[in-house]
Amino acid sequence: MKKRKLKNFNNIPNHVAVIMDGNGRWAEKRGLKRNMGHRKGADRLYEILMASLEVGVKVLTVYAFSVENWKRPQAEVDYLMTEATNFLKKHESDIISKEIRVIVIGEDDRIPDYLREKKYYYMDLTKDYNKMTFVIALNYGSHQELVQMVKKISEKVKTNEIDINDINEQTVEENLYTKGLPPVDLMIRTSGEIRVSNFLLWQLSYAEMYFTKVLWPDFNKKEYYKALEEYQLRQRRFGGLTK
Ligand code: FPP
């Protein structure tokens, strides 16, 4: 079978964000336990990370675990925590050799110690790499991120570090978990759900949205190229007029 390639490399999104949805349904459809969907989903994630590096996407941000996901059965939560840790262990040497910077965003509370340790170990290990940035949103919620941003800025106003009249968009950006990262250009959600689910609300403000019915464990490189090709055809006006 002929391997499908991206047709052209013009207008590649700088920052792609992905809601990797549909792991559970993928497994259930095959009579498997939901965790098998997460297992397959983790492999797809690596495939998409590598494809991003190949085509020149500079930042890939993925929604691995939301603050709402704690509502799931404990066994599934435990599995997801282990899967994320295993993913980081399994691909460590590859990520280093490819000089990918890894950032984990989200709250630290409730995350098991072994994963929290891995998070800081990885961020420190890869902090000087710049071939690409891989952002894992783990125990992440956009509302929580915005609340902590307001608290951080308020604290700086209280201690006279900044004047209230100097607060602007840049101040907000500098106090988000995504500090220093570019805005999202393309947001992909798999599995047919058409919503944003508390993901990067500030950062997505001008992103192009791509929704597909394909379940995340089936979202291979070919599907990713389809999303990128659709993005390449979009006209982004950022509120202005087309030239
Ligand atoms: C949504 O599918 C997916 C998740 C909540 C977890 C995503 C995690 C991975 C792809 C693998 C592990 C993560 C890393 C960082 C390696 P769902 O379970 O909500 O599917 P459903 O809607 O069909 O039930």
Q: Which atom of ligand 1 is nearest to the CA of 63?
A: 7
216 CA to centre of ligand 1 in angstroms: 8
pLDDT digits (tens, 9 = 90+) for 77-108: 999 999 999 999 999 999 999 999 999 999 99
Cβ-contact 121, 95 below 8 angstroms: no
Task: Identify the residue whose C-alpha is closest to ligand 1 atom 8.
Answer: 64
pLDDT digits (tens, 9 = 90+) for 111-161: 999 999 999 999 999 999 999 999 999 999 999 999 999 999 999 999 999
For residues 11 and 102, give the distance between their C-alpha atoms in angstroms, rounded to a whole number.
Answer: 24
> Residue 239: its pLDDT value, please?
82
168 CA to centre of ligand 1 in angstroms: 35
> Residue 3: its pLDDT value, please?
61
13 CA to centre of ligand 1 in angstroms: 24
| Other C-beta atoms lying within 10 Å of the C-beta of residue 2 | 4
pTM of the model: 0.96
Q: Which atom of ligand 1 is nearest to the CA of 26?
A: 23
Give the mutation target among 21, 67, 72 for probing the ligand 1 site: most ligand atoms within 8 A of CB. 21
Q: Which domains does the chain have, with CATH numbers?
A: 15-141+183-231 (3.40.1180.10)
| Distances from the Cα of 166 to the Cα of 169, 202, 219, angstroms | 10, 19, 44
Residue 73, Cα to own-chain centre: how many angstroms? 23
Tell me which residues have their CB closer than 6 angstroms to ligand 1: 20-25, 38, 41-42, 45, 64, 69, 80, 83-84, 87, 136, 191, 216
